[in-house]
Structures are given as structure tokens and as C-alpha cells.
Structure 1
Amino acid sequence: MNIIAWVILGLLAGALAKAVYPGHQSGGTISTIILGIVGAFIGGTLFTLIRTGTLQLTAATLSIPGLLVAVIGAIIAIYLWTLFQRSSRV
């Protein structure tokens, strides 16, 4: 998948995940794109692990099922990021 498709998928997945996830998340467009791209890798890897039973670093594709997997991965990434921010504040 080329970089333009990753940016588009990242923007869509990050924006949808921020809209679905409860609470306020800080960050602008760049952080949303990065969050979505990380979410695509998390979701794609988890989907591959569940489907095949092997752990491979894969990204979701720019399609409707790929977008759903990327949004789920981005929600996981938001959760992990909020946990990291809370522990670093203490």
C-alpha cells in the first residue's frame, strides 16, 4: 500500500476512532493521521493473528473492511495512549 493510501486510511480511521471513543482527546490533524496509521497496523496485525494464528506485522487495506479493522486498532491505540499519558503524569 502506498503512502498516500496510508495517509487517507489514517485520517479516516483516526477521525472515526476519535469520534467513537468517549472523552476528550487532544491533538490535531497530524496526530489523528498518525493515530490512524498506527491503528491500521495494530488492527491488521490482530486480524491476521486471529485469522491465521501467526503474528505478522501487516496493515489494513484501503477498503471498507480494512477501514473497520483500522478504526478498531485506532481505538486500541487511543486507549493505550491515554494509559501511557496517565502513568507519565504521576
Structure 2
Amino acid sequence: MGIIRMIVIGLIVGALARWFYPGPVHAGWIVTILLGIAGSFVAGFVLQMVNRKAGEPLHPAGLIASIIGGMVLIFVARLLHIA
């Protein structure tokens, strides 16, 4: 059940990142899902590095941070001509 939830959340985050990203993004649904999931991981990693406290477990990134992470990955994908 966790994989299905991750795919659905990745689709939502990826779609929102595409919607907020300025300019056209030529990517399919699979790439959108992957960018959304990867954006969540990137945002979670960055937030963990910025707000690291001793003894605190890993926490998932918030929705806004995940969308920003997705937008950063869209930018990188466009630089590499992937999306």
C-alpha cells in the first residue's frame, strides 16, 4: 500500500510542480510522477540537513517543500534536455 500512496503523492506533487513552473514542461505522466517522488526525496534531504537535531528521526518533506524540490528537478531536467 505504501508504494501506491507514494505514486499518487508523487503524481500530485509532480503535477503541482509542473503547474507552478514557469514555461512549458514537455514531460509525460511517468516523468511527472518520478519528478514528484524525487522532488519529495530531495526536499526531505535538504530539510534534514538544514534542520538536523540530535536523536530526531528522518521526517518526510512537507507539500510545499516537495513542490519546490520538484520544480528544481524540472529545471535540472530541462537543462539536461530530459523534459
Q: TM-score, normalised by structure 1?
A: 0.76
Aligned to 1:13: 13
CA distance in 1, matches of 2:63, 2:8: 10
Identify, as 1 or 2, the structure richer in helix. Answer: 1
What residue ranges of structure 1 are gaps of 5+ in the alignment? none
CA distance in 2, matches of 1:29, 1:59: 27
Shift >6 Å, 4+ stretches: none
Matched, 1:68 2:64: yes
The secondary structure found in structure 2 opposite 1:85 is: coil
Identity of aligned residues (%): 36
Report the residue type matching 2:42 in the other structure: I
Aligned to 2:4: 4
What residue ranges of structure 2 are gaps of 5+ in the alignment? none
Aligned to 1:25: 25
Q: Deviations over 1:30-57 (max 9, x none)?
A: 111011011011111011111117xxxx
Aligned to 2:48: 48
Q: How many residues align?
A: 78
Q: CA RMSD, aligned part only?
A: 2.2
